[in-house]
Amino acid sequence: MIFMKYFLFLLFFYPFSIFAELRIDITQGNMDPIPVAILEFNSNSKEALEISSNINQVISNNLERSGLFSVLPKKLFFNLTIPFEEKPTFSDWKITTAQGLVHGKLKIKNDKLDIQFRLWDVLSQKQMVAQKLTTEKNNWRRIAHVISDIIYQRITGESGYFDSRIVYISESGPKSNRKKRLAIIDQDGANHKFLTDGSYLALTPRFSPAAQEVAYLSYNKRIPRIFLLDLEYWDSKSFRRFSRNDI
């Protein structure tokens, strides 16, 4: 009993602080771009190889231009291809200072692209995302933008903006005969197209928040009207004209 009392007495004065874990606040980090290694997607045919190279270029440009990523040059890589079904050897990739690794495979079937890709966290040695995408062969640029968006969103948390287009009014010609044309362009400067021929004034284009449509004000035949242009069926020129009552 006396022993117990002594024990309790000592216990009360025992420094419990030695059991407390060390806690350190890390409040300062850096804002450097995240180094990412992007491999060309594995492909069999020559055509697929070319498309794979193009897609790789577009993804690299997109991520690099965002300012949040730095795409590592290929000369740093030990392996230029990784079998899609296999895990990469992360130790090799750690040496390159890469924190993210993108690789995949590309197939062409009946003029359709079939792309599968994976994004790996090299330092945590975990797969961050894996997706399969299919599209028309001519639409490879769009799919590259979509892949860029997925990578961007997964790493930064913000939704990507690469698969977006810009509608604007292009001005040309002398002051006395100024031409204002409605034009559309991809965010990376590709696929530039004029939507009106410049024979009449076009102003204030606005994208539809939901559909692939653009609303703009036109002075065709000197009457101000709002037109709704469907971008998907642009070739068929499916305009919808508003009456004065609509305005």
Residues touching another protein: how many (CB under 8 A)? Answer: 38
**Smallest separation, CB 141 to another protein (Å):** 24
Look up residue 185 and give its amino acid.
I
Residue 223, exposed/middle/buried by CB under 10 A (0-12, 13-18, 19+)? exposed
**Smallest separation, CB 121 to another protein (Å):** 7
**Smallest separation, CB 123 to another protein (Å):** 4
* CA distance linking residue 216 with residue 218, whole number of Å: 6
**Backbone dihedral region for residue 161 (phi beyond 0: left; psi -120 to 50: alpha; all else: beta):** alpha
Does residue number 3 form part of the binding site for another protein (CB under 8 A)? no
Look up residue 129 and give its amino acid.
V
Does residue number 223 form part of the binding site for another protein (CB under 8 A)? no
Q: Hey, which residues between 144 and 203 contact another protein (CB under 8 A)?
A: 153, 155-158
153: its two tokens: 């969103």
Residue 222's alpha-carbon distances to 106, 181, 215, in angstroms, are: 51, 15, 18
Nearer to another protein by C-beta: 55 or 119?
119
**Smallest separation, CB 84 to another protein (Å):** 23
* CA distance linking residue 194 with residue 216, whole number of Å: 14
Q: In angstroms, how far apart are the furthest CA atoms of the chain?
A: 109
**Smallest separation, CB 70 to another protein (Å):** 11
Nearer to another protein by C-beta: 27 or 236?
27
Which of 191, 218, 190 is closest to 206 using CA atoms? 218
**Smallest separation, CB 119 to another protein (Å):** 12
* CA distance linking residue 167 with residue 170, whole number of Å: 9
Q: Hey, which residues between 16 and 75 contact another protein (CB under 8 A)?
A: 16-32, 34, 68
Instruction: Give the CB-side neighbour count of residue 75, counting CA atoms within 13 A.
Output: 0
Single residue of 57, 124, 204, 212 touching another protein by CB under 8 A: 124
* Residue 150 main-chain phi, psi, to 5 deg: -65, -45
Nearer to another protein by C-beta: 4 or 223?
4
Stretch that binds another protein, among 41-49, 123-131, 179-187, 226-234 (CB under 8 A): 123-131
Does residue number 12 form part of the binding site for another protein (CB under 8 A)? yes
**Smallest separation, CB 129 to another protein (Å):** 12
Give the residues lining the site for another protein (CB under 8 A).
5, 8-9, 11-13, 15-32, 34, 68, 94, 99, 121, 123-125, 128, 153, 155-158
